[in-house]
Structure 1
Amino acid sequence: MTVTDLQGVAGTVVLPDDPAYEDARHVYNFMVDKHPEAVVRCANADDVAAVVNYARTSGRPIAVRGGGHSVPGFGTADDAVVADLSAINHVEVDPERRIARVGGGATWGMFNEAAGAHGLATTGGIISTTGVGGLTLGGGIGYLTRAHALSCDNVNSVQIVLADGRQVTASPTQEPDLCWALRGGGGNFGVVTEFEFELHPVGDIYGGPLFFELSDAEAVLRWYREFEADAPRAWGGFPAWQIAPPLPFVPEERVGEPFLALVSCFNGPEAEGARLLEGVRDVATPVAEHVGVMPYPALNSAFDGLVPRGLQHYWKAAFVTELTDEAIAAHLEHGPKVPVVNSTMHLYPIDGAAHDVPKKSTAWGHRDARFACVIAGMWPDPADNERCIAWVKDYYAAIAPHSQQGGYTNFASPDDADKVRENFGGSFDKLRRVKQEYDPENLFRINQNIPPAG
Structure 2
Amino acid sequence: MPVPDANGINNGVLISMSGLNQNKMINNNAIVQVGPGQTWNDVYTYASAFNKGVAGGRFSPVGVGGLLLGGGLPYFASQVGWACSTVKAYQVVLADSTIVEATATHNSDLFWALKGGSNNFGIVTRFDMETLDVTELYGGDTLYNTASYPAFLNAITEYVSPGGGSEDVKAAILPNIVVTPSTGLVEGSLVAFYNGDNAAPQALAGFNAVANNFTDDTLYSFLSYTNLTNIPAFAARNFRWLFATTAIKVSKDTVALLDKLYTQPVIQALQNVTGCGTTLALQPITKAQLQAAKDAGGDAIDLDPSMGTFISVLINIDWENAADDATVNRFARKFISNVDAAAKEAGLHIPFTYLNDAQSGQEVFQYYGGGSSLPILKRIQRKYDPKGVFQRLENSGFKLPN
Q: TM-score, normalised by structure 2?
A: 0.83
Query: In structure 2, which of residues 303, 307, 314 is the aligned counterpart of residue 374 of structure 1?
Result: 314
Q: CA deviation at 1:116?
A: 1.8
| Equivalent in the alignment of 1:306 | 233
In structure 2, how many angstroms separate the alpha carbons of the residues matched to 1:309 and 1:161?
30
The structure-2 alpha-carbon separation of the partners of 1:172 and 1:332, relative to structure 1 and needing over 3 Å to count, comes to same
| Equivalent in the alignment of 1:280 | 207
| Equivalent in the alignment of 2:340 | 400
| Equivalent in the alignment of 2:290 | 354
Q: CA deviation at 1:257?
A: 4.1
- 1:422 corresponds to 2:367: yes
| Equivalent in the alignment of 2:117 | 185
- Pairs within 5 Å for 1:164-179: 164-179=96-111
- 1:450 corresponds to 2:395: no
| Equivalent in the alignment of 2:197 | 269
Letter in 1 for 2:373: S
| Equivalent in the alignment of 2:249 | 321
| Equivalent in the alignment of 1:108 | 40
The structure-2 alpha-carbon separation of the partners of 1:132 and 1:261, relative to structure 1 and needing over 3 Å to count, comes to same
The structure-2 alpha-carbon separation of the partners of 1:223 and 1:265, relative to structure 1 and needing over 3 Å to count, comes to same
The structure-2 alpha-carbon separation of the partners of 1:345 and 1:300, relative to structure 1 and needing over 3 Å to count, comes to farther
Would the aligned equivalents of 1:187 and 1:444 in 2 still touch at CA under 8 Å? yes
The structure-2 alpha-carbon separation of the partners of 1:187 and 1:448, relative to structure 1 and needing over 3 Å to count, comes to same
Would the aligned equivalents of 1:147 and 1:235 in 2 still touch at CA under 8 Å? no
1:80-123 C-alpha deviation (Å, 9 max, x unpaired): 11111011111112483411001121211111111122232222
In structure 1, how many angstroms separate the alpha carbons of the residues matched to 2:176 and 2:254?
18
| Equivalent in the alignment of 1:293 | 219
In structure 2, how many angstroms separate the alpha carbons of the residues matched to 1:409 and 1:178?
18
Query: In structure 1, which of residues 197, 210, 218 is the aligned counterpart of residue 129 of structure 2?
Result: 197
| SS of 2:199 mapped into structure 1 | helix
In structure 1, how many angstroms separate the alpha carbons of the residues matched to 2:320 and 2:133?
38
- 1:93 corresponds to 2:25: yes
Letter in 2 for 1:185: G
- 1:119 corresponds to 2:55: no
The structure-2 alpha-carbon separation of the partners of 1:297 and 1:392, relative to structure 1 and needing over 3 Å to count, comes to farther
| SS of 1:152 mapped into structure 2 | helix
The number of residues matched between the two structures is: 371
In structure 2, how many angstroms separate the alpha carbons of the residues matched to 1:169 and 1:257?
51
Query: In structure 1, which of residues 414, 433, 438 is the aligned counterpart of residue 379 of structure 2?
Result: 433
Ranked by relative contact order (alpha carbons within 8 Å, sequence separation 6 or more), the top structure is: 2
Query: In structure 2, which of residues 302, 306, 325 is the aligned counterpart of residue 385 of structure 1?
Result: 325
Which segments of 5 or more consecutive residues in structure 2 lack a partner in the other structure?
A: 344-348
Query: In structure 2, which of residues 146, 151, 154 is the aligned counterpart of residue 219 of structure 1?
Result: 154
The structure-2 alpha-carbon separation of the partners of 1:232 and 1:95, relative to structure 1 and needing over 3 Å to count, comes to farther
1:55-96 C-alpha deviation (Å, 9 max, x unpaired): xxxxxxxxxxxxxxxx34343222211111011111112483
Q: CA deviation at 1:215?
A: 3.4
1:408-428 C-alpha deviation (Å, 9 max, x unpaired): 111112222x55412574311
In structure 2, how many angstroms separate the alpha carbons of the residues matched to 1:88 and 1:164?
20
- Pairs within 5 Å for 1:320-339: 320-326=248-254, 328-335=256-263, 337=266
In structure 1, how many angstroms separate the alpha carbons of the residues matched to 2:82 and 2:329?
29
- 1:363 corresponds to 2:291: no
The structure-2 alpha-carbon separation of the partners of 1:127 and 1:341, relative to structure 1 and needing over 3 Å to count, comes to farther
Q: CA deviation at 1:430?
A: 0.9
1:391-448 C-alpha deviation (Å, 9 max, x unpaired): 43343223223232230111112222x5541257431121111111111222112231
Which segments of 5 or more consecutive residues in structure 1 lack a partner in the other structure?
A: 1-27, 30-70, 245-254
**Residues 321-330 or 404-413, more deviating:** 321-330
Q: CA deviation at 1:323?
A: 4.2
| SS of 2:139 mapped into structure 1 | strand
Q: CA deviation at 1:300?
A: 3.1
| Equivalent in the alignment of 1:234 | 170
Letter in 2 for 1:363: A
In structure 2, how many angstroms separate the alpha carbons of the residues matched to 1:268 and 1:279?
18
Would the aligned equivalents of 1:108 and 1:125 in 2 still touch at CA under 8 Å? yes
In structure 2, how many angstroms separate the alpha carbons of the residues matched to 1:296 and 1:348?
21
- Pairs within 5 Å for 1:133-172: 133-172=65-104
Would the aligned equivalents of 1:204 and 1:295 in 2 still touch at CA under 8 Å? yes
In structure 2, how many angstroms separate the alpha carbons of the residues matched to 1:299 and 1:95?
26
The structure-2 alpha-carbon separation of the partners of 1:374 and 1:451, relative to structure 1 and needing over 3 Å to count, comes to same
In structure 2, how many angstroms separate the alpha carbons of the residues matched to 1:406 and 1:363?
13
Which of the two has higher C-alpha Rg? 1
1:217-248 C-alpha deviation (Å, 9 max, x unpaired): 4322322223646542111112112359xxxx
Would the aligned equivalents of 1:211 and 1:287 in 2 still touch at CA under 8 Å? yes
Identity %: 23
Q: TM-score, normalised by structure 1?
A: 0.74
| SS of 2:66 mapped into structure 1 | helix
Would the aligned equivalents of 1:311 and 1:380 in 2 still touch at CA under 8 Å? yes
Q: CA deviation at 1:305?
A: 3.4
Would the aligned equivalents of 2:290 and 2:303 in 1 still touch at CA under 8 Å? no
